[in-house]
Amino acid sequence: MIRKLVISYRSNQYLVKNMLIRDIKQRYVGSMFGLFWFFFQPIMTVLIYTFVFSFVLKAKLGPEFGGMNFSIWLISGLVPWMFFNEVLVRGTNSLLDNSSLIKKTIVDTRWIILSNTLSSLFSFLVFLVIVFILLGVFGIALSLKVILLPCYILMMGIFAFGLALSLSALNVYLRDIAQFVSIFLNIWFYLTPIVYPISIIPEKYRFFLEINPVYHFISGFRFALLSTNEPMNISSFLYVAFFSILTLVMGLKIFNRLKDGFADVL
């Protein structure tokens, strides 16, 4: 199934490229400040969380983090979460947003989801550059662990794309899915140790957080970006790799099962 997807993508690269460019342009067309909002909204989100947790709540990391600045630790977890959140929110609504295209033309609807995912990835990469700049400002040097970063980005992208495939297909038939996703993502955010270290959770409850794949993605990003003496968690890496492939396969199955009725329902 994945092999067929890759072959299909190779024959539709031009379509995906044009849909990606169209998606990025449409997000800001007619806006007075244009691409300014592309940077402003995520930056404000990061600044608000940093202000609340670093300066208002005065959150600090434990000694196991070697005195690392809480703000940079927080930002290194927020940026990948925003990527994941955006892929799911926009992906869930992508078929409805492109209903006229689906009804009027013959198009492989999977590439609509992929173009949204790549658009979100573009945003994420821009902010990743900002994270690298902040690491330099805080005096945190990159280590060889950073070579793992593309692996985590790829796996998180696959994981999010697989979920978006399922949710977008279900949302065509049951429009409440989009509302559910919005609410559940808020819950998921706080069930993932992003704004707090997992060490503050009692040992007997940590299992319920550790079965969350996004926790391992966020931990992987922090491991690759931040200079710590923490050894690589091989089981965590394999866990997210497994979930990425599983979610993609399940997403393709659900999407392929439901796609024939999209044009009629839309």
Q: What confidence tens digit (pLDDT) does each residue in 185-231 have?
A: 999 999 999 988 888 889 888 998 999 999 999 999 999 998 667 77
Place 108 in a pLDDT band, splitting at 50, 70 and 90. confident
**Confidence (pTM):** 0.88
Work out the number of other CB atoms within 10 angstroms of the CB of residue 219: 21
Q: What confidence tens digit (pLDDT) does each residue in 52-90 have?
A: 877 777 777 777 677 778 888 888 999 999 999 999 999
For CA atoms 264, 12, 81, 37, give the dihedral sign: negative
Distance, C-alpha 250 to centroid of its chain: 18
CA distances (Å), origin 49, targets 77, 78, 230? 11, 9, 26
**What local confidence, expressed as pLDDT, does residue 86 receive?**
92
CA distances (Å), origin 239, targets 111, 119, 142? 27, 26, 25
Q: What confidence tens digit (pLDDT) does each residue in 87-97 have?
A: 999 999 988 88
Does the pLDDT at position 6 exceed 70? no
Does the pLDDT at position 17 exceed 90? no
Place 161 in a pLDDT band, splitting at 50, 70 and 90. very high
**What local confidence, expressed as pLDDT, does residue 8 receive?**
59
Which residues does 1 contact at the CB level (< 8 Å), separation at least 6? Answer: 249, 252, 253
Express as a percent the part of the chain with pLDDT over 90.
38
Does the pLDDT at position 37 exceed 70? no
Q: Do 164 and 112 form a contact (C-beta atoms < 8 A)?
A: no
Question: Could you tell me how many helices (H) and strands (E) the chain has, helices first?
Answer: 12, 0
**What local confidence, expressed as pLDDT, does residue 1 receive?**
62
The two tokens of residue 9 are: 């993508």
